[in-house]
Amino acid sequence: MANSNIVTLDKNNFGAVTSTRDKTVLVDFWAQWCGPCRAVTPVLERLAGEYPDSLIIGKVNIDEQQDLAVRNDIMSIPTIKIYKNGAVVDELIGARPYQDFKAAVDRHI
């Protein structure tokens, strides 16, 4: 993850990042063993490059951050949640085409 607006989230920074006021925050709840999760990664990297000034992408590895997964009601992965000012404003579940993720981001930028 070389893009500077893609960050790894854990229990220590999740709240601070998702509460960012000047940017929309897209959080990807994923796991290394999840094929659909790996398929979504290039889509998210593309979005990060297209919205460098208005979007932060956070990645939560649910195997390493089980408490965050439980707290955020993650039942299947990949689950993508979009936050504005600390509140969830949209959610997408499962691997989707680029256009679906872009449309969701565009609704909240």
Contacts of 16 (CB under 8 A, 6+ apart): none
State the catalytic residue, choosing from 9, 34, 40, 68: 34
Annotated active-site residue 4? The verdict is no
Show the DSSP H helices in the chain as ranges. 14-18, 35-50, 66-71, 98-108
Residues 9, 17, 26, 37: which is the catalytic one?
A: 37
Strand partners, 24: 55
Instruction: Confirm whether 8 is a catalytic residue.
Output: no
- Which residue numbers are catalytic? 34, 37
